[in-house]
């Protein structure tokens, strides 16, 4: 059985003291590969060092997180573009719009999101979309004719079943993580109603640990707990969840494994 964590920030300081053990635990729990999204210019070198050290299992992405978008965001976008020209990445990410904490830079976030979608078109890469409190802003942008060829995953899918049906009918994937194990989160209902082919698995570690680890540091090994939870919801085997979601991840990110 092979599982893939399609969203983990293993380069952050929370893992500095035990990254080798963390990755070993992941492999022992059948999580053989990990997609590593960038945050901004301050995280690039740590991310690249991680992926160089563990290049057989960690695959980097390049992008600027919406929470890092300020007035001078073009510097960040240009830095990302420079890296895209000189290294190999499996996605543009993590990008998007976040209106949960602060709406001060909403116009800049929208412009930055479009510029990074343009990068996805230029480099023929899928995108990892952060859409917290912003699906109503993001969906109309993706509906623009020029962006329709782009493949995408909605990281930590935050929307309704109706929105999920609409997005998956357009070919987008839903990133399902530890939030599915939280009571009243609403994600379980979405997962229950949609085919497994519409989903990929993720942790967002070190954040959003699944039950029973909620409140503790998240890590890629817990993908197996998330997959088991999904298997129980959908009344299928763990192996079926693994096979289908892993194949979707391989196809989305064009992984050569």
Asked if 97 and 137 count as a contact pair (C-beta separation under 8 A), the reply is: yes
Report how far residue 240's alpha carbon sits from residue 207's, in angstroms, rounded to the nearest whole number. Answer: 26
∠ CA 201-207-212, nearest 5°, is 75
Taking residue 111's Cβ as centre, other Cβ atoms within 10 Å add up to 15
Q: What is the pLDDT of residues 148-184, one digit of tens each?
A: 999 999 999 999 999 999 999 999 999 999 999 999 8
Domains and CATH numbers, the chain: 3-253 (3.20.20.140)
Report how far residue 113's alpha carbon sits from residue 134's, in angstroms, rounded to the nearest whole number. Answer: 12
Report how far residue 9's alpha carbon sits from residue 14's, in angstroms, rounded to the nearest whole number. Answer: 9
Q: What is the pLDDT of residues 115-137, one digit of tens each?
A: 999 999 999 999 999 999 999 99
| Token representation of residue 123 | 């480099």
Name the pTM for this structure.
0.97
Residues 6+ apart with CB under 8 A from 168: 174, 194, 198
């Amino acid at each position: 059985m092979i599982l893939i964590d399609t969203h983990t920030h293993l380069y952050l300081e929370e893992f500095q003291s035990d990254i080798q053990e963390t990755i070993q635990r992941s492999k022992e729990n059948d999580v053989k590969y990990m997609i590593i999204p960038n945050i901004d210019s301050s995280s690039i070198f740590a991310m690249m060092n991680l992926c160089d050290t563990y290049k057989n299992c960690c695959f980097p992405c390049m992008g600027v997180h919406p929470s890092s978008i300020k007035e001078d965001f073009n510097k960040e976008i240009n830095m990302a573009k420079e890296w895209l020209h000189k290294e190999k990445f499996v996605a543009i990410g993590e990008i998007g719009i976040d209106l949960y904490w602060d709406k001060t830079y909403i116009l800049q976030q929208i412009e930055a999101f479009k510029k990074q979608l343009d990068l996805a078109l230029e480099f023929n890469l899928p995108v990892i979309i952060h859409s917290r409190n912003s699906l109503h802003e993001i969906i109309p942008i993706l509906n623009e004719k020029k962006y329709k060829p782009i493949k995408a995953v909605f990281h930590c899918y935050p929307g309704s079943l109706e929105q999920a049906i609409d997005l998956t009918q357009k070919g987008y994937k839903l990133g399902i993580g530890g939030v599915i194990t939280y009571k009243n989160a609403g994600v379980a209902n979405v997962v229950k109603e949609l085919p497994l082919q519409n989903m990929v698995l993720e942790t967002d570690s070190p954040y959003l640990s699944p039950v029973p680890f909620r409140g503790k540091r998240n890590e890629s090994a817990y993908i197996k707990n998330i997959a088991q939870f999904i298997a129980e919801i959908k009344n299928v085997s763990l192996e079926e969840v693994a096979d289908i979601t892993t194949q979707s991840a391989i196809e989305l990110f064009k992984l050569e494994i």
